[in-house]
Amino acid sequence: MIKKKKRNKQNLGWLFVSPWVFGFVSLTVLPLLYSLYLSFHDWNMFSDPKFVGLKNFELLFDKTSIYGDAFYAALSNNLIYVCVAAVINFTVGITIAWSIFRPSKLNSTLRTIIYMPSMIISFALSMMMSPIFSSNEFSLINQIRQAMGLDLQNWLGTRGQGVWVLCILCFWGVGGAMMTYISGMKNIDKSVYEAAKLDGAANMRLLVSICLPLLAPMIVYQVIMTFVGGLQAFDNVMGLATICGGNGTANMGTDNSLATLVFYLYNLGFKDFKMGMASALGWITFAITGVFGIALLVFVQKTGYYSIDGD
């Protein structure tokens, strides 16, 4: 009788979770497996898929092909963007958070003001860069250059420069990192700060020796989120590419100046109709993300910054 009741409870539990299981399998697992299948095929979405083996991956890794050139440009832009975004979110986010995390009406107002820009849609924010960084003579940057006697500069359409405009947009989203760090700082016991102050620790010493070590879990979390978000950069890049135009691969700016992995994947699949190659690029991006995640996990465990799951 007892076993029957336990079995009934288990069946009831499976009944409650079955909608999630069905959604996970049908909307996540099956599409992943199908994309893996397509990565070994040539498919334009209209004809039957044609098996090509590793050709899609070979073309993407071949620097001499147009696909390989765009892939390495996207990879380079993504790595620069991720690293700069991580540095900005950490340094600027920590600095602002430490300055205004203490409770007061002024700090509450400042937190709201600083956080508000991160709520702007990335595509709209990118379009707002048109009066500043567009290649015509009326853009703000080019007007300043003309006043200094310099030639006009096509920032968005020059390979190696467009990505830095993308990096500048990171400052508008620093409010999210600031709020993450503030939540961590408020959870630190005040008695720790008070004890350090009694020992003569100044404000900077409190930040470096007390706050940052205890904030390690939040810092690691923010780094992971920044990396994942940076690899998925899409809407902000599309907004800049709309301003830029150009003749690059699938309209990713002149000479692929604004190429990123996900933006390139979108263009391969829905503009060039090379869904097989787009799937291959998706799995490459997934592999890069996985390698970084594992490396960060190992780093955290080896250095002993904080334990994971009680280890």
Q: Count CA within 13 A, CB hemisphere, residue 106.
A: 3
**What residues are paired with 41 via a beta bridge?**
51
Contact 227, 189 (CB under 8 A): no
**Residue 135 counted as domain residue:** yes
Q: What are phi and psi of 190, to 5 degrees?
A: -65, -25
- Rounded Cα–Cα distance for residues 171 and 159 (Å): 22
- CATH number of the domain at 169, please: 1.10.3720.10
Q: Is 223 helix (H, G, I), strand (E, B) or coil?
A: helix
Rg of the chain over all Cα atoms, to the nearest angstrom: 24
**Residue 4 counted as domain residue:** no
**What residues are paired with 156 via a beta bridge?**
none
**Residue 46 counted as domain residue:** no
Give pLDDT, residue 162: 82
Give pLDDT, residue 16: 83
Contact 70, 256 (CB under 8 A): yes
pLDDT tens by residue, the chain, 311 residues: 566 666 667 777 788 888 888 888 888 899 999 999 999 999 988 888 999 999 999 999 998 888 998 999 999 999 999 999 999 999 999 999 988 888 888 988 999 999 988 888 888 888 787 778 877 777 888 888 888 888 887 778 777 788 888 888 888 888 888 998 998 888 888 887 778 777 777 778 888 888 888 888 888 888 888 888 888 888 888 888 877 654 444 477 777 888 899 999 999 988 889 999 999 999 999 998 888 878 877 877 776 655 545 44
Neighbours of 83 (CB within 10 A): 14
Question: Residue 288 sits in which domain range?
Answer: 66-303
DSSP 252: S
Q: Count CA within 13 A, CB hemisphere, residue 62.
A: 10
**Residue 42 counted as domain residue:** no
Give pLDDT, residue 249: 42
**Residue 60 counted as domain residue:** no
- Helix and strand numbers (H, E) in the chain are 17, 2
Give pLDDT, residue 2: 60
**Residue 273 counted as domain residue:** yes
- Extract the runs of DSSP E, i.e. beta strands, from 130-259: none
Structural domains of the chain, count: 1
Give pLDDT, residue 143: 86
**Residue 229 counted as domain residue:** yes
- Rounded Cα–Cα distance for residues 281 and 268 (Å): 9
The length of the chain, given as a count of residues: 311
**Residue 217 counted as domain residue:** yes
Burial class (CB in 10 A: 0-12, 13-18, 19+), 123: middle
